[in-house]
Chains A and B, each alone.
Chain A
Amino acid sequence: MTMTNERPVEIRSKVTINVDGNDVDVFEGDTILDACNAAGKTTPTVCYGPTVTPVNACRVCVVELEGSRTLVPSCSRPVEDGMVVKTDSERVDHSRKMVLEFLATSSDVSQADDIMGWLGDYGADLDRYDVATTARMTDEVKIEDDLYIRAYDRCVLCYKCVEACGEDAQWTFAIAMTGRGFNNRIGTEFEVTLPDSACVYCGNCVAVCPTNALQFKTEFDLRKMGDWRPEDQSVTRTVCSYCGVGCNLDLHVQDNQIVKVDSPSDHSITSGNLCVKGRFGYQYVQNRPG
């Protein structure tokens, strides 16, 4: 499902699919994930996001579909009338548990709250992996400017940032998936630094990152000092004052300082996206006289 701003021009008919024994009515063109949500099922997702095209790479949202030899990714499989789906089978639980074990043994997911929660929910057993013989992403943090950092040892290669930099939001194409297999990395050409690359610092990649591999430099610095305190932060919604578009901004404030800016992903104007000014140009707010 590509996100577009076009209004639906045809009336969508409803289809019925069965989720764990209960019939659910959803619209034609919806995904199995939509149906699972409608049925009140909680489905873990990593590479899925409401504002980006699902690449269905993480496979944590898989469900069992009657008639299909393999499990199917619920986030991108369109519903068909009469589908019978199981979300709580042994196969589904096994695959989700294993995907979570794979993610947590290859990347640092400690700042990915959702993933940390699901690890417990699905009974992931990380202790059975021998640390000495288990390969991980060990990339150094890339600090190339004062706006955001890239900590690829936290990256789960979900492609969301690539999509946001490219066709789903910014159309800048500063980053791409590079390499192959376990050596896959999100990167610029020849790993040139962001200031040298095509990056325009919209930060839309930061907004969609599910693991904090991309984070505001302010957050990174505070975390380093052990002073990142989300529980002490307030979020103030306001309208960006730079131009007339009217993007909503959520200002995350800690100790009376703006430490992070984002925009609600369901906002009709931004879909969570901002430009460099809206996302990073907030210092003037704090320029107090004296």
Chain B
Amino acid sequence: MPELAVTSATATADEAAAVADSIALQSPGQITFDSIGPTLTFDGDRIARSGSERIFNRRHLLLPVLHHVRNAIGWLSEGAVNEIATALQVPAAEVYGVASFYELFTFEAPPSPDTIHVCDDTACRIAGANDLIGELRSDGHCVHGSPCLGLCEQAPGVFVQRTGQAHVSVRTATKESVVAALDGELMRPVAPVPQVAEDLTLLRRVHNAANEDYDGYVATGGYEALTKAVSMTPADVIAHVGDSGLTGRGGAAFPTGFKWSAVAGEPGPRHLVVNADESEPGTFKDRVIMEHDPYSLVEAMTIGGYAMGAEQGWIYIRGEYPEATRALKSAIAEARSKGMLGDNVGGHNFRFDIELRQGAGAYICGEETALLNSIEGYRGEPRNKPPFPTTNGLFGQPTAINNVETMVNVNQIMLMGGEGFAQQGSGRSTGTKLFCLSGHVANPGVYEVTYGATLRDLLDLAGGTTGDPRAVLMGGAAGSFIDMTMLNVPLTIEASREAGFSLGSGVIMVLNNTVDFDDFVARIARFFQEESCGQCVPCRVGTVRQSESLLRIREKGAPVEAERVMLDDFAKVMADASICGLGHTASGAVLSALDLGLIGGAS
């Protein structure tokens, strides 16, 4: 073994066993390293590489191993980090550097084996999350205020990170229901979405509980899309995706067909990565799909693998989605056991398999290149582009990265044909779109509409607003506030852009006049401050300066005009000079709130 210098701290027997177990769990079988490339080891040398040479045997196991040890022991000790470093041949400083990047890992023994993460972000904040935190803390629980947990339609949301037991989420949480969850009481199921099955296309299966297992999925038309796909050539499948006009549903609205044909045109091996790190405050649509229709994602990815000649699929799901993770894990395992994943998918003569990877509490890992770094076992810091992932993606190889909702639409395209799909909606906005309604509406939830519905249509579907609506947060924290004069704007890519806002990930959060906007907007600013990876100066410092400025307005009565000059300066450098989208969009909500006179008493 190469010499790897570590401190004298050693792992306990339990920690050492957890490390050994986790590596055994991850080893061969599931992931075929051949498809990633040859492993590189140097006898007598330290194994550490980066860039296009990041193809070596064990570093990409770092995040799964950290999870496993954290879940078994409750925290990461110096001895445990040394054990992991030695086992994976990753320098201890780097193991620590990676682990300390993520919110869900701690380096001191927690006071309790259960850490209760209570969302105190946007929708949960206006649903009394801070009161819940106070109540739980006064009862002596270990509570951590969390950024959005993607449970906005059932606010306040809670994620319980347990030790030695499965994590759980608690929805519409009260002190009592959180305590019950600690005692192992399961959540009572609620309807996944408010609309009935007849009104749904993409989500038509979510009400049918049977479809959470393989036979039930097949009985409701599952795998018909794959059958259709493999009756065509891979190039034809991509042509249909191109013809459909499908655009990315994660927020950037990039044409999917274009991305797929770019990847297919690159020399292999290729990867298909699904971005299920749904962390944009106010967004929960992908969670609903994964919890209630996990096979549709597996099927759509299989079609993508066939079309692009990508043999390895990856799903990167956020660590705070325990139920969706379990649903996907079981779907992937069952699909594999039915021969629908593996060396010869469904007897159709191609290889495709899926590896599920969990994030560990970092919004930035939803940025596609940060996500790739995270999978590879590095800090979730975005890469500089170009080169783009289509040519230099996971392990430096051609990679298509698609959002969950985008991916699942591929099934629809196969069933309807590309042109048939494109007949829904108009222009660049084709197909149906999922919107996440939360805040002050009668029936919050995910709503599916054909592109072209107006904001008013969506609010009507959700039973109207409650109270006296003051503003709507569109697109999440990275989006912007609009006022109620925008009700008739069709929510299409084109019309929203013309009206000066972005649909982003489909967040529609209604805020009535009971909301303390100074507090609400300050929380959004704090969100960016806490979620900035810190790699580039404009965002690392700019998000902090922006927060400080808002606090000066709010708590020190600083003149808004002078602060606005500063805020505009911060916004401009973050938008112009940051590495990635986090910095580019970190000021949108703040400036729009000032423009609308929601904060600071100006208008």
Is chain B a partner of chain A in the same complex? Answer: yes
List A33-68 residues whose CB lies under 8 Å from chain B: 55-60, 62
Q: Which A residue sits closest to B101, measured CB to CB?
A: A180
Does B540 contact A157, Cβ atoms closer than 8 Å? yes
Known: A177-B97, A181-B529, A189-B96. A196 touches B7 (CB 8 A): yes
When the two chains form their complex, are residues A95 and B577 in contact, meaning their CB atoms are under 8 A apart?
A: yes
Q: Are the C-beta atoms of A182 and B93 separated by less than 8 Å?
A: no
Contacts of A176 in B (CB 8 A): 91, 93-94, 96-97
Interface stretch of the complex, out of A130-138, A206-214, A274-282: A130-138
Judge if B81 is at the interface, Cβ distance under 8 Å. yes
Chain B interface: which of A70-78, A216-224, A245-253? Answer: A70-78
- How far does the Cβ of A118 sit from chain B's closest Cβ, in whole Å? 13
| Interfacial residues of chain A within 253-269, with CB under 8 A of chain B in the complex | none
Point out the residue from A59, A187, A197 that lies within 8 Å of B536, measured CB to CB: A59
Q: Which of B75-89 contact A (CB under 8 A)?
A: 78, 81-82, 85
The answer to whether A102 has its CB under 8 Å from any CB of chain B is yes
- The answer on a CB contact under 8 Å between B46 and A173 is yes
* Residues of chain B within 8 A of A192, CB atoms compared: 7, 78
Residue-wise, chain B 568-595 has the 8 Å CB interface mask toward A (1 for contact) of 0110110111110000100000000000
Contact partner of B538 (CB less than 8 A), chosen from A76, A98, A182, is A98
B576 touches A91 (CB 8 A): yes
Taking a contact as CB atoms under 8 Å apart, the answer to whether B46 and A94 are in contact is no
- CB of B49 closer than 8 Å to a CB of A: yes
Q: B535 interface residue, CB < 8 Å from A?
A: yes
Near A by CB (< 8 A), chain B positions 50-106 give 50-51, 78, 81-82, 85, 91-97, 100-102
Given known contacts A98-B538, A181-B533, A181-B534, A62 and B576 CB-to-CB distance under 8 angstroms = yes
Report B223-245 residues with CB < 8 Å from chain A CB.
Answer: none
Asked if A59 and B577 make an inter-chain contact with CB atoms under 8 angstroms apart, the answer reads: yes
Q: Which residues of A contact B536 (CB under 8 A)?
A: 56-59
**Cβ–Cβ contact B551 & A189, under 8 A:** no
Interface residues of A in 82-116 (CB under 8 A from B): 91, 94-95, 98-99, 102-103, 105-106
Which stretch, B343-351, B470-478, B542-550, touches the partner chain A? B542-550
Enumerate chain B residues within 8 angstroms of A128, measured Cβ to Cβ.
566
Instruction: Compute how far the CA of A73 lies from the CA of B578 in the bound complex, rounded to whole angstroms.
Output: 10
| A59 touching B548 in the complex, CB below 8 Å, given contacts A167-B50, A176-B94, A192-B7 | no
A188 CB–B CB distance under 8 Å: yes
Q: Closest residue to A61 on the B side, CB-wise?
A: B577
Query: In the complex the two chains form, is A189's CB within 8 Å of B384's CB?
Result: no
| Chain A residues with CB below 8 A from B538, complex form | 59, 95, 98-99, 102
Partner of B384, one of A56, A103, A105, A180: A56
Chain B interface, DSSP helix/strand/loop, else mixed: helix
Contacts of A156 in B (CB 8 A): 537
- The answer to whether the Cβ of A283 comes within 8 Å of any Cβ in the partner chain is no
Complex contact A98–B569 (CB within 8 A): yes
A235 touches B (CB below 8 Å): no
A179, B101: Cβ atoms closer than 8 Å: yes
- A157 pairs with B7, CB closer than 8 A: no
* A138-179 Cβ-contact flags toward B at 8 Å (1 or 0): 000000000000000000110000000011000101111111
In the complex, A62→B566 CA distance in Å? 21
Asked whether any CB of chain B lies closer than 8 Å to the CB of A239, the reply is no
Cβ–Cβ contact B576 & A187, under 8 A? no
Least CB distance, B92 to chain A, in whole angstroms: 4
CA distance A141 to B105 in the complex (A): 27
- The complex places the Cα of A197 from the Cα of B9 at a distance, in Å, of 11
Q: Which residues of A contact B8 (CB under 8 A)?
A: 196
Give the docked Cα–Cα distance between A103 and B8 (Å): 37
Contact, CB under 8 Å: A179 / B584:
no
For the complex, is A284 an interface residue (Cβ under 8 Å from B)? no
Question: A22 at the A/B interface (Cβ < 8 Å)?
Answer: no
Determine if A56 and B579 form an interchain contact, defined as CB atoms under 8 angstroms apart: yes
The count of chain A contact residues (Cβ–Cβ below 8 Å) is 52
Which residue of B5, B48, B551, B578 has the most chain A CB atoms within 10 A of its CB atom?
B5
Q: How far is the CA of A183 from the CA of B362 in the complex (A)?
A: 14
* In the bound complex, CA of A197 to CA of B46 (Å): 16
Q: Does B534 lie within 8 Å of A70, measured CB to CB?
A: no
Q: Contacts of B205 on A, CB cut-off 8 Å?
A: none
Given contacts A76-B384, A133-B556, contact A71 B576 (CB under 8 A): yes
Q: Name the distance in Å between A202's Cβ and chain B's nearest Cβ.
A: 14
B578/A179 in contact, CB under 8 A:
no
B1-29 contacts to A, CB under 8 A, are 4-8
Decide if B537 touches A103 in the complex (CB within 8 Å).
yes
Alpha-carbon distance A187/B6, docked complex (angstroms): 14
Give chain B nearest CB distance to A73 CB in angstroms.
7
Identify the closest chain A residue to B551 (Cβ). Answer: A133
Give which listed residue, B82, B91, B530, contacts A173 with CB less than 8 A.
Answer: B91
In the complex, are the beta carbons of B552 and A198 less than 8 A apart? no
- CB contact under 8 A between A62 and B96, given known A57-B536, A95-B538, A98-B569: no
CA distance A128 to B552 in the complex (A): 13
Please determine whether A99 and B573 come into contact, CB atoms closer than 8 angstroms: yes
Q: Are B537 and A189 in contact (CB under 8 A)?
A: no
B46/A106 in contact, CB under 8 A: no
Cα A262 to Cα B513 with chains together (Å): 64
A176 to B578, CA, bound (A): 22
Interface hub of B51, B97, B578, B579 (most chain A Cβ within 10 A): B97
The 9 closest A-B pairs by CB, nearest first: A176-B97, A173-B91, A98-B573, A102-B541, A198-B5, A189-B96, A184-B534, A181-B534, A176-B93
10 other contacts beyond A105-B545, A197-B93, with CB at 8 A cut-off? Answer: A57-B537, A98-B538, A99-B573, A106-B544, A130-B558, A135-B544, A178-B100, A189-B81, A189-B82, A192-B78
A contacts, CB < 8 Å to B: 2, 55-60, 62, 70-71, 73, 76, 91, 94-95, 98-99, 102-103, 105-106, 128-130, 133-135, 156-157, 166-167, 171, 173-184, 187-190, 192, 196-198
List 23 contacting pairs A-B, 8 Å CB cutoff, sorted by A: A58-B536, A58-B537, A59-B579, A62-B576, A62-B577, A70-B576, A70-B578, A102-B540, A129-B545, A130-B548, A135-B548, A171-B48, A176-B93, A181-B534, A181-B544, A182-B529, A182-B532, A182-B534, A188-B96, A190-B7, A196-B8, A198-B5, A198-B93
